[in-house]
Chain A
């Protein structure tokens, strides 16, 4: 492609004498020259840089007076920052409303006190758990309880405690709810509590307690101003099946208790200490003339004498 290179060199003005002669000898030489010459006629000689600039300058000056573009850029940034802060703030503020429920749990031989969002307090006994929604607490004071807890409710709107055995509603008071597999007990220490059990509503004034043992409903009284497990570090029972007492002991001391020849349906009235295992064992065995034997750290066997 000698011709192509020759022409490209000519177009770039790089031909030397010998090459120029060769180029001139091409049959299309005249055509190329004419095309090249006439191309210049397509130049737009009317483009006047100075004149175009003065046009542009006028437009820009007008725009600068109307709304200075520099300023526009300056306030958009802070505005974005403010907007971002607002978004984050709102998200933080509203997140609890839609957030998950809060769950607090206690393990065996463990108690916990927690504050609810409105200064109501809940003391959880061993092996219990409570669930509530932090968001929207003001309008919906509702907790789900499994186990036993003592509530000190701040005044306000209705406060509900749901258990799978029944629902307890109050307006501002102190009460204890105990829920076991076959046992449900609500004791009111102050104010008035309403217990909803199997569709029945029972009003419970201060000093009264409501018990469900198996399917039997028992109403009882208490002279204490606080549940014994909370105030005196004692677990107290009044006409409660012995099996419940053993269960409670297991919960409080995180041990396994086995019985041999013991009637676990007999009713037991009494209490045991929550901070002294030996003493507690005596307290629950001596009245029934039982013997206890610690097989290992986590297993105790009770036998009838």
Chain B
């Protein structure tokens, strides 16, 4: 039987390693699911503080699911049916742009529609879609992280894409 050398995550070296490898994933996960308006960064901090407080009872293998669950629960405590909003980076008009103002206007319109459409996806669709499109994660990886089947992931992402397209294109 293989037993982990480290039975808990109280050691600073292990703890900081966990933060460096997982914090961004936790952050993105929260953000995709609940949007920007609920301060996912703060929730990541709080989740890691919780992990530290319970470090004696958490093995390094369990840390990831502990963090995701804790962070998710913290968010759920705060979510009061708020509309999910994801901030997108402003499309900066290039200085030497040869794109005309009309084009820039259209782009910014498009992004507004996109943002609204994202907010209208289900949490499950949104998180899977953005993990795939922003982070470039493979379906298999996403399935593992979310603890669902690969088929489920494919369904969610495809569903999200079609829903976005229809809403943005105004079909």
B16-71 residues with Cβ-Cβ distance < 8 A to A are 16, 19-20, 23-24, 27-28, 31, 36, 41, 44-45, 48-49, 52-53, 55-56
Q: Which B-chain residue is minimally distant from A36 (CB atoms)?
A: B133
Q: Is the CB of B19 within 8 A of A41?
A: no
Q: Is the CB of B158 within 8 A of A4?
A: yes
A residues near B88, Cβ cutoff 8 Å: 38, 41-42
Q: Is A73 an interface residue (CB 8 A)?
A: yes
Residues of A near any B CB (own CB < 8 A): 4, 7-8, 11-13, 28, 31-32, 34-36, 38-45, 47, 49, 52-53, 55-57, 59-60, 63, 69-70, 73
CB<8 Å pairs between A and B, sample of 22: A4-B158, A8-B158, A31-B169, A32-B161, A34-B110, A38-B110, A38-B111, A38-B114, A41-B91, A42-B88, A43-B134, A44-B27, A44-B36, A47-B41, A49-B19, A52-B44, A53-B16, A53-B19, A55-B45, A56-B48, A56-B49, A57-B16
**With known contacts A32-B161, A35-B168, A49-B19, A8–B24 Cβ distance under 8 A:** no
* Complex Cα–Cα for A73 and B52 (A): 13
Q: Which A-chain residue is minimally distant from B150 (CB atoms)?
A: A12
Q: Which A-chain residue is minimally distant from B10 (CB atoms)?
A: A70
Q: Which B-chain residue is minimally distant from A9 (CB atoms)?
A: B154
**With known contacts A49-B20, A52-B45, A40–B133 Cβ distance under 8 A:** yes
- Interface 1/0 per residue, B122-151 and A, CB below 8 Å: 000000011011100011000000000000
Q: Which A-chain residue is minimally distant from B90 (CB atoms)?
A: A41
Q: Is the CB of A60 within 8 A of B41?
A: no
The 4 closest A-B pairs by CB, nearest first: A39-B133, A41-B88, A8-B154, A12-B139
* Complex Cα–Cα for A69 and B130 (A): 37
Chain B interface helix/strand/loop/mixed: helix
Q: Which of B23, B28, B118, B168 contacts A31 (CB 8 A)?
A: B168
Residues of B near any A CB (own CB < 8 A): 10, 16, 19-20, 23-24, 27-28, 31, 36, 41, 44-45, 48-49, 52-53, 55-56, 86-89, 91, 110-111, 114-115, 118, 129-130, 132-134, 138-139, 154, 157-158, 161, 164-165, 168-169
Smallest CB separation, A35 vs chain B (Å): 5
* Complex Cα–Cα for A224 and B134 (A): 109
Q: Which of A7, A32, A42 contacts B118 (CB 8 A)?
A: A42
Chain A interface helix/strand/loop/mixed: helix
Q: Is the CB of B19 within 8 A of A56?
A: yes
* Complex Cα–Cα for A95 and B118 (A): 67
* Complex Cα–Cα for A40 and B41 (A): 19
* Complex Cα–Cα for A12 and B137 (A): 8
Q: Which of B20, B49, B130, B158 contacts A42 (CB 8 A)?
A: B130
Q: Which A-chain residue is minimally distant from B165 (CB atoms)?
A: A31
* Complex Cα–Cα for A41 and B89 (A): 6
A residues near B48, Cβ cutoff 8 Å: 56
A residues near B138, Cβ cutoff 8 Å: 12-13
**With known contacts A41-B91, A70-B56, A73-B56, A28–B165 Cβ distance under 8 A:** yes
* Complex Cα–Cα for A182 and B45 (A): 89
* Complex Cα–Cα for A69 and B139 (A): 40
Smallest CB separation, B10 vs chain A (Å): 7
* Complex Cα–Cα for A267 and B166 (A): 119
Instruction: Apart from A4-B158, A8-B139, list 13 A-B contacts with CB within 8 A.
Output: A7-B158, A31-B165, A32-B165, A35-B168, A36-B161, A41-B91, A41-B111, A42-B89, A43-B134, A44-B28, A52-B23, A52-B44, A69-B55
* Complex Cα–Cα for A35 and B138 (A): 18
Q: Which A-chain residue is minimally distant from B142 (CB atoms)?
A: A12
Q: Is the CB of A35 within 8 A of B114?
A: yes
Q: Is the CB of A60 within 8 A of B31?
A: no
* Complex Cα–Cα for A45 and B89 (A): 9
* Complex Cα–Cα for A266 and B120 (A): 110
Smallest CB separation, B77 vs chain A (Å): 20
B residues near A55, Cβ cutoff 8 Å: 45
A residues near B114, Cβ cutoff 8 Å: 35, 38
B residues near A34, Cβ cutoff 8 Å: 110
B residues near A47, Cβ cutoff 8 Å: 24, 27-28, 41
